Copies of this chain bind each other. A is one copy, B any other.
Amino acid sequence: MEKLTVTPWEVNGELNDSSYSKLVEKFGVDLINDNLISRINKISKGNLHPLLKRKVFFAHRELNLVLDDYENNRPFYLYTGRGPSGKMHIGHLLPFTFALWLQRTFNVNLFIQMTDDEKFLISGKEKNEIEKFTNDNILDIISLGFDPKKTHILADYRSAKVLYYYATDVAKHITVSTVKAVFGVNDSDNIGKVFFPSMQITPAFLFSALTGKKMRCLIPYAIDQDPYFRIARDVLPKLGYYKPSAIISKFLPALQGNSAKMSSSKTESAIFLDDSKAEVKKKLMKYAFSGGKDTLEEQRKYGANPDIDFAFLEYSFLEEDQGKVDRIYQDYKSGKMLSGEMKELAAEKISEFLESLKTKKEKMKDRVGEYMFDPEKIKLYS
């Protein structure tokens, strides 16, 4: 049997329902059950995010405690992040649309960490190249519409004065052995990579540290990031903070299928945010993993499996009219709609989204400063 390895720096093995079940057990997370979904659905006034509805976000840790806090008017905050190793593709943006939805639904503060230091420490890229991606990625992210008053972007190098200060609190409680066991690093790894988990764990209590108010942090992340937050749950109580709560996704749909994360290392393997309408269409037609059948006849007869179909999934995440999404789902599944038609529809929707994002991005260029982490701004919440 193939060995399944899932750490932030290595994902090996086929990812399917069975392997996700194994990870749930191995990592000790809980599945999101109907009770939780119905609580969130109620809070969101029936406006459940499609990534939750389709169980792409499928697991959690103490999400119930965060909902308890919300229902009892106790403050909490969100934390997510990105490693700025390249241009963003639509797969990268999805978790941010989810974080945005969480921010709006719960009306809470959000940290977004850009791990420029990690990308420098683990790759062959130069700092100035990574900085360029960092700036470009930040623009992409804030163009989604985050609340500038409640969104705080921690670009690690720029925020290092505060981050390093608190990261040493974390580091003091993590041994080299632990990092070896949890992340699979070894003695030939560099000492910056070994220290880095302290930097990624810090935002999970930073809001409490800066405001002096002990509050819970909810972290949406893909399951490969779980090692950081498993350690965080061990360390944070020792520092007097809550264990972080988590809402955990499977790997997001990839252009070429779900067996691997959507990769940005090959141009044709993903739809980038600056792709033209023609490129989007071409990539979908040529590369998109399809849930449809091999022949027109079979498709008409048996229908497609939309749940693994890249075009359908992207369409479903971008189309705001959920009634329409449900109709397309039925049509595609029943065989009434063909794979090519699904791709055309998705191409249209994606291009529309990218066009609108480009316009917003242009307008956002002068407003980046409003979103960057500033400890004084955080202290206003104390």
Contact = CB atoms under 8 A, between A and B. Distances in A.
A191 interface: yes
B165 A160 contact: yes
Interface in A167-184: 167-169, 171-177, 179-180
Contacts of A192: 167-168, 171-172, 195, 198
A177 B168 contact: no
A36 to B, nearest CB: 34
Contacts of A165: 157, 160
A176 B191 contact: yes
Nearest to A189: B176
Q: Which of A169, A191, A198 has the most CB of B within 10 A?
A: A191
Interface string A59-96: 00000000000000000000000000000000000000
A173 B351 CA distance: 43
A191 B187 contact: no
B164 A190 contact: no
Contacts of A121: 168, 171-172
B157 A164 contact: yes
Interface in A111-158: 117, 120-121, 127, 157-158
Contact of A177 (B158, B188, B195): B188
A175 B160 contact: no
A161 interface: yes
Contact of A191 (B120, B160, B164, B174): B174
Contacts of A191: 171, 174-176, 179, 194-195, 197-198
Contacts of A190: 171-176
Interface of A: 117, 120-121, 127, 157-161, 163-165, 167-169, 171-177, 179-180, 185-195, 197-198
17 contacts: A117-B164, A117-B168, A120-B172, A158-B161, A159-B161, A160-B160, A161-B161, A171-B195, A172-B192, A175-B187, A175-B189, A176-B186, A176-B189, A176-B191, A177-B188, A191-B195, A194-B194
